[in-house]
Amino acid sequence: MNGGARTVGRWWRPRSLRTQLLLWLITLHLGAAVLTAWFSFVAYGNLVHNALDDQMRLVAESYAGSAPQKLPQPMDGEAAFSRGAFIVQIWSADGRTLRATSWPVLSVPLQDTPGFSDVNTGAHAGSAWRVFTAEAGTRADQPRVQVLQNEDYRRRRALRRALLEGLPITLLLPLALLILWVIVSAASRSLRAVARDVASQDERSPTQLSLARVPDEIAPLVSAFNNLLSRVRSAFATQRRFVQDAAHELRTPMAAIGLQIENLRAHVPAGEATERFNQLEAGVTRAQHLIEQLLHLSRQDAPQGGDARERVDIEVLLRESVSQLMVLADARRVDIGFEGPDRTTAVVFAPAAELRSVFDNLIDNALRYAPEGGVVDVKLHTFEGHAVVDVLDNGPGIPQAAIGRVFDRFFRVPGSAAGGSGLGLAIARTAAQRHGMRIELCNRGDGPGLMARVHLPSVPT
Ligand SMILES: Nc1ncnc2c1ncn2[C@@H]1O[C@H](COP(=O)(O)OP(=O)(O)OP(=O)(O)O)[C@@H](O)[C@H]1O
Ligand SMILES: [Mg+2]
């Protein structure tokens, strides 16, 4: 697994579905607009061309058949180029002399073959002309007529028409993009809601994700995920039940063995047997402790319907913890002290029992791993603007390499004092995290020993 690292997509295949859709839609629309414009340029080009040709013929015929001879209206270049006005030329019957023309600047001779032709008067823009030369008349003196129109004007007209055809599609593009944006946004909103649902799951009792607002396309994924969740839930439950049952079943016989050992103590002869007996007793005590920790752990893993959160004054809680662990401190002749804050009150909203398991385990460790006759300090104070609880001892501390692993279940630093099960810190950390707290362990800089610091949540959780 690559830990959720996301690769960046190529520009034409971005990771975001929305960008991908938008990109393709824009390309598709622009392509359609260009194609439509091109098709209509070809189709309308012909249409415009034929229509204008017909007009040219009609104009020529109206001049050729007029008696007395109609003379063309004079015009300028602007009319010829911009408005595509027809230029009419009246030639003598033999076609040699130009008798009249609407625009004398244009010199195009009378074409030999009657009908339509294309003439170029130069290589510059606007020098191409469409020409219609009327047939010679039946009378010998009947003048010849030729009509011309600028070719560029005709092309421009066809082009304008074609562009107008492509315009609706181009105008539709922003609208289509907007609709797409709205649809994709709605879909990703529902996906985000599913993600939020997943993120807010209690890992102890994952619940089914709602399919209510999930789009059909994504529903199979969510259903499959729900399926997985229910399997995970039942696997968790089986495992938890097993640990709980096993620990529970072991508890009674272990307690009976403990009692028997206590009863036997009076009958053990002095010498090597006492030594062995003591080892046996320590072993049983250790096993009993391990069973208790396992029970604690499995209870912690169990789903907690409506955690009984309450307003807990941390100072009061710590004083209780210290006084309850005083038996252990006395047994090990450890001097344990508590220092509370001057004025402020640190409050956490959480089940008191869970908070107790955090501090009990840390203080228990400090008392166990401090040397006989050592010193343990529990301090509640403010650090960098938020409340912290420090538990300090003057024991061996934890080797730097092992400090990251001591929170693992069953991990014990080799050579540690006997009696522990390696579960205390795992229990403490789970409870702390659940209620917005953080445990930090570091070896003290001011001498031997460990400092366990609990950062309390800065706002009530
Ligand atoms: N204050 C401390 N000083 C030195 N080592 C410590 C201290 N606290 C924890 N450790 C080391 O970290 C290990 C893990 O601690 P943890 O509390 O999880 O388990 P444990 O104390 O061995 O057993 P349990 O707490 O279940 O009785 C301990 O075994 C010990 O090696
Ligand atoms: Mg411990």
Give the model confidence (pLDDT) of 152-203 as tens digits. 999 998 888 878 877 887 788 788 888 888 888 888 888 888 888 888 877 7
Tell me, yes or no, whether 63 and 99 share the same domain: yes
80/88 Cα distance (integer angstroms): 11
Tell me, yes or no, whether 316 and 438 share the same domain: yes
The residue with tokens 């399926």 is 227
Report yes or no on 209 lying in a domain: no
Report yes or no on 3 lying in a domain: no
377/368 Cα distance (integer angstroms): 13
First to last CA, the chain: 33
Tell me, yes or no, whether 31 and 167 share the same domain: yes
Tell me, yes or no, whether 322 and 293 share the same domain: no
Domain termination residue (choose one: 167, 200, 233): 200
Tell me, yes or no, whether 349 and 297 share the same domain: no
- CATH number assigned to the domain comprising residue 257: 1.10.287.130
Structure token digits, residue 237: 């439950």
Task: Give bridge partners of residue 430 from the DSSP assignment.
Answer: none
Structure token digits, residue 194: 């599913």
**For 216, phi and psi rounded to 5 degrees?**
-50, -35
Q: Which of 375, 416, 427 to mutate to test the pocket of ligand 1 (most atoms within 8 A of CB)?
A: 416
State the distance from the centre of ligand 2 to the C-alpha of 18, rounded, in angstroms.
52
- Weakest-pLDDT range from 8-22, 360-374, 430-444: 8-22
pLDDT band at 3; cut points 50, 70, 90: very low
Tell me, yes or no, whether 182 and 228 share the same domain: no
For the CA of 290, the nearest atom of ligand 1: 26
Residue 1 has pLDDT above 50, yes or no: no
Report yes or no on 196 lying in a domain: yes
Report yes or no on 430 lying in a domain: yes
Tell me, yes or no, whether 88 and 195 share the same domain: yes
Report yes or no on 208 lying in a domain: no
SS3 118: strand
Report yes or no on 214 lying in a domain: no
How much is the pLDDT for 9? 60
Tell me, yes or no, whether 190 and 335 share the same domain: no
Domain termination residue (choose one: 266, 301, 336): 301
Range of the domain at 366: 310-455
Give the model confidence (pLDDT) of 215-259 as tens digits. 888 889 989 999 998 898 888 888 888 888 898 899 889 999 999
Ligand 1 binding pocket, CB closer than 6 Å = 289, 293, 361, 365-366, 369, 393, 395-398, 406, 412-413, 416, 420-426, 450
Averaged pLDDT of the chain: 88
Q: What is the DSSP string of 305-330?
A: TT---EEEEHHHHHHHHHHHTHHHHH
Q: Which of 356, 363, 425 to mutate to test the pocket of ligand 1 (most atoms within 8 A of CB)?
A: 425
Tell me, yes or no, whether 81 and 106 share the same domain: yes
State the distance from the centre of ligand 1 to the C-alpha of 420, rounded, in angstroms.
7
Task: Give bridge partners of residue 118 from the DSSP assignment.
Answer: 130
Evaluate if pTM is beyond 0.75: no
Report yes or no on 152 lying in a domain: yes
pLDDT band at 454; cut points 50, 70, 90: very high
How much is the pLDDT for 305? 55
Cα-based distances in Å from 261 to 219, 257, 265, 293: 62, 6, 6, 22
Tell me, yes or no, whether 297 and 264 share the same domain: yes
Residue count of the chain, please give it: 461
Query: How many domains does one find in the chain?
Result: 3
Structure token digits, residue 231: 């399997």
Give the model confidence (pLDDT) of 110-157 as tens digits. 999 999 999 998 878 789 999 999 998 888 888 999 999 999 999 998
Give the model confidence (pLDDT) of 298-322 as tens digits. 888 776 655 678 999 999 999 999 9
Tell me, yes or no, whether 285 and 330 share the same domain: no
How much is the pLDDT for 4? 45
Domain termination residue (choose one: 243, 269, 301): 301
How much is the pLDDT for 208? 85
For the CA of 425, the nearest atom of ligand 1: 18
Closest ligand (CA of 391): 1
424/411 Cα distance (integer angstroms): 10
Q: Which helix (H) or strand (E) holds 47?
A: helix 17-64
Tell me, yes or no, whether 320 and 281 share the same domain: no
Report yes or no on 339 lying in a domain: yes
- CATH number assigned to the domain comprising residue 441: 3.30.565.10
Give the model confidence (pLDDT) of 410-431 as tens digits. 999 998 887 788 999 999 999 9
Longest CA–CA span in the chain (Å) reads: 160
The residue with tokens 């102890």 is 204
